[in-house]
Amino acid sequence: MSASVRPPNILVIGTGDTKSDELLFMAEIIGKAGGLPVMIDVSVLGDPPYQPDYSKHDVASAAAATIQEIIDSGDENTAMALMAAGASNLVHRLHDAGQVDGMIVLGGSMGTDLALDAAAVLPLGVPKFIVSTIAYSHLVPPERIAPDLMMILWAGGLYGLNPICRSVLSQACGAVVGAAKVGIKPDNERPLIGMTSLGSSCLKYMKYLKPALEKRGYDVAVFHATGMGGRAYEAIAAQKGFAAVFDLCIQEVTNHHHGSVVTSGPDRMENAGRAGIPQIVAPGAVDMVDLQAWQALPPGLAGRPYHAHNRLLGSVTISPDGRRDVARIIGRRLEAASAPVAFILPTGGIQEWDQSGEPLHDPDALDVFLDEMRRAVPPAVQYEETEAHINAPEFADRALAVFDKWVAEGVVPRGKA
């Protein structure tokens, strides 16, 4: 029976020994909204005043341990890490058995730590909601956030129910049940191509590439490479969710190297290669660092050419030496790939604002990068060079030529009309 004709199963995860009032309230709201709450208790020391569907002993067993072994593991950090492993394994098993239509987790920093692991094992399209005292905080590293994770601040609810807490919890429960009822999960009717970009004002190739690939029988998902977009791209690549990728904006590598908060984590450019997905790569926008526009530039970048994109985001160019460093990092990431890789170097420029008359125009620094990048591309990588700017149709044509050759050779599966 499908989720459309039965109440959706919603996992409700939390420490029932300390948050029983909140969790029982959530179960009640989920039931009233038309869902079926499935209670998973991740308590360690105590027991909830209700019978969960899956007890702390079930969670511990899923981590190949007993509760006593978890208690004796060291401290609250090691104990909760083991419970997180058990909860993730249990959630994964339940999903594989077709028993999960959505998940909601309640917690402070400890519960959020566990919740991030549990959400990461559920594929894109399964609603996952975290009610957290640290929602959207910089304490949460972007690489741990599932691509379609939803969060809401657990405002005023650290200890017990009150009108504010009830409002927040009811919104969250309504959201996860509604998403489970009406959400459309991704289908696999046509091969999916992953593509990275940085908005049409900076990089424009997707305007040419997306319709051309769709005409060839592929679905195309374009990820906005502003930290979280790259994280979503990497997470799907790690799950082998793409038939091939056009990773043409790898600026998040530069961001991470320079300590920017606009990062998708240390494994950017690694997961597609590790998963054996064919990659067409280009150095879109790697000559600049994205930073918060509402803060002063860090000392190492102050005085460099700067472009204010909006009140949230600004871009500053990196030095010639910084560009050499980034080229070497890119080369090392390319070398680790386990499937065919083509690297396209557009010598006419790598982002809109590096052209003559634009605020980030620096032809000498671009030449330094191009020179280093030519040396950094590993021998096993197919190297392509074009005099075109990355935003020119000729660049897109070169990328399509590589792709079409791979399709003809069977490297990439053929599209479906």
Give the CATH number of the domain where residue 219 resides: 3.40.50.12030
pLDDT digits (tens, 9 = 90+) for 309-323: 888 888 999 999 999
**Calpha distance 324→318 (Å, rounded):** 10
What token pair was written down for 224? 């906005």
Query: Does residue 219 contact residue 243 with C-beta atoms inside 8 Å?
Result: no
Residues 221, 319, single domain; the answer is yes
116 with 216, same domain: the answer is no
- Output the CA angle 278-283-287, nearest 5 degrees: 160
Mean pLDDT of 130-153: 88
Comparing 50-54, 225-229, 275-279, the range with the smallest average pLDDT is 225-229
- Per-residue pLDDT tens over the stretch 189-201: 899 999 999 988 8
pLDDT band for position 244 (cuts 50, 70, 90): very high
Q: Flag whether pLDDT at 94 surpasses 80.
A: yes
| CA–CA gap between residue 277 and residue 170 (Å, rounded) | 41
Q: Is 3 within a domain?
A: no
What is the per-residue pLDDT across 95-116, written as a single tens digit (0 to 9) for each?
999 999 999 999 999 999 999 9
pLDDT of residue 378: 96
Question: pLDDT category, 406, cuts 50, 70, 90?
Answer: very high
pLDDT digits (tens, 9 = 90+) for 152-173: 999 887 778 899 999 999 999 9
Give the per-residue pLDDT at 140.
87
Residues 116 and 246 in one domain: no
Domain end call among 161, 182, 203: 182
> Which pLDDT score is estimated for 410?
97
H runs (alpha helix) in 152-287: 163-182, 206-215, 228-238, 251-257, 271-274
Q: Is 210 found in the same domain as 178?
A: no
Residues 154 and 241 both lie in one domain: no
d(CA 168, CA 172) in angstroms, rounded, equals 6
> Residue 315 — left, alpha, or beta (φ > 0 → left; ψ -120 to 50 → alpha)?
beta
How far apart CA 345 and CA 343 sit, in angstroms, is 7
pLDDT score for 346: 98
DSSP collapsed to 3 states, 47-79: CCCCCCCECHHHHHHHCCCCHHHHHCCCCHHHH
Q: Are residues 30 and 107 in the same domain?
A: yes
The pLDDT of residue 146 is 87
On the question of pLDDT at 251 being above 90, the answer is yes
Residue pair 282/206 in contact (Cβ under 8 Å)? The answer is no
User: 162 lies in which domain range?
Assistant: 9-182
Confidence check: pLDDT of 142 > 80? no
Domain shared by 176 and 196, yes or no: no
What number is the average pLDDT over the span 381-406? 98
Among residues 122, 157, 182, the one where a domain terminates is 182
Is there a domain that residue 96 lies in? yes
Residues 165 and 203 in one domain: no
CA 7/CA 87 separation, integer angstroms: 23
Task: Supply the mean pLDDT for the chain.
Answer: 93
Residue 107: strand, helix, or coil: strand
What pLDDT, on the 0 to 100 scale, is given for residue 2? Answer: 46
Q: How many CA atoms lie within 13 A of 17 on its CB side?
A: 9
List, in order, residues 6 or more apart from 78 with CB less than 8 Å away.
none
Domain boundary among 182, 208, 237: 182
Tell whether the model's pLDDT for residue 1 goes beyond 60: no
| Same domain assignment for residues 63 and 205 | no
Q: How many domains does the chain have?
A: 2
Residue 259 has pLDDT above 80, yes or no: yes
Three-state SS for 401?
A: helix
Same domain, 114 and 215: no
Asked if 333 contacts 269 with a C-beta cutoff of 8 angstroms, the reply is yes
- Residue range 34-44: mean pLDDT, rounded: 97
Angle subtended at Cα 246 by Cα 314 and Cα 123, rounded to the nearest 5 degrees: 90
1 within some domain: no
Among 134-143, 174-183, 254-263, the range scoring the smallest mean pLDDT is 134-143
- One domain, residues 209 and 233: yes
Residue 4: is its pLDDT beyond 60? Answer: no
Q: Quick one: pLDDT at residue 3?
A: 46
Residue 400's pLDDT is what?
Answer: 98
**Do residues 119 and 248 share a domain?**
no
Q: What is the CATH number of the domain that holds 47?
A: 3.40.50.12020
Structure tokens belonging to residue 124: 């894109």
Residue 417 located in a structural domain:
no
